[in-house]
Structure 1
Amino acid sequence: MAEDSPYTIDRTSNSRRQAVEDWLWGLDLVSPEVRERIVTAWVSAWSSSPYRELTEMPFQAGPPFYPLMRHVNEVTRAGVDLARRAAADWGMAVDWDAMASILILHDVDKPLLYRPDAGEDGQGHSRLFHELPHGVVGAMLLRDLGFPHLVVSTVATHATNAPFHGRTMEAQILHYADLFAADHALRAMGKTPFYLRHP
């Protein structure tokens, strides 16, 4: 990994690539070229992270553990359902290369933001977590891989604490799919889900 970059693009064909392809739900919705880029993005994040196995990557830092793998597929399935509903009810034209990429890749930077031990902050956050907001590093990686602006900007601004959010239907679909799945993960972890939090 270059000293000035938090990740290295990994295009090698290896067991990691196969593991990512076996894990991700929704790859059949995109073109072969986009599928290749999605898999490369996840392999690059994984190989640049401190995690040896996909199953070790957390949805959030610190205990209790909820697998990122599970969250990503839950968001993708919920988002596909919402996109299909938006198409049927409101006539939204769905570009599946963009929509599925956004859903599958929204948390691609989490393996770089967390660490398997408690870390300096006691919560399992990496140094990078304290340098750039969640979504931004993922967007940088996706830009380097040639994803379109819609995908890059939606991933960059999707976090609940982002200063602003995209105004596209794709951003709206990701928002609700992500919160729906995140609230399930938080409940499973014994934490307060977003819909029950008050300012």
Structure 2
Amino acid sequence: MTDEIERIIRAGMTETPDFPSEGILFRDLSGLFADADGLRAVSAALVDGVDAETVVGVEARGFVFGTAAAVATGKGMLAVRKAGKLPGEVLAESYDLEYGVATIEVHPDTLAPGTRVVIVDDVLATGGTLAATIRLMRRAGWVVAGVAVVIELEALGGRSALPADVEVRSLLRL
């Protein structure tokens, strides 16, 4: 991506060692969330040119970028939630995080079968969250047009955990 987008991301990012657990370096993008122009530019860059009808935001920080990207590009927004947050019938998928285990859920009837979606999140680390989201989208009958993240932590190899047929866009690789 452009040098300007990378500059915006770096300006809005802080790093906190040993959070949420020992050995994890947490990249916090709260400063970027508070910068209206920066948030708009980064969110639009995530999905610009992707052939999808709906943006999928992964709880929780993916909601921020997913919603902003959807608004910036005139697409709908689907929220993938943590377990127990949605009433009624849900599809669920469990996965490993770099610091634990989690489950995500979605209502399977929210979108029509065959709807093209682009999955948006803040960080690609080990790939567990995004791989589970891809599986969940496919189980629901939707077509994954791509994955877009603000930051990719290359040393953690998360890209290799994702299916080879899914295009991955990362705005800043660290």
> Would you say same fold, with TM above 0.5?
no
Q: Which has the higher contact order (CA 8 A, sep 6+)?
A: 1
TM-score normalised by length of structure 2:
0.31
Structure (1 or 2) with the greater strand fraction: 2
Structure with greater helix percent: 1
TM-score normalised by L of structure 1: 0.28
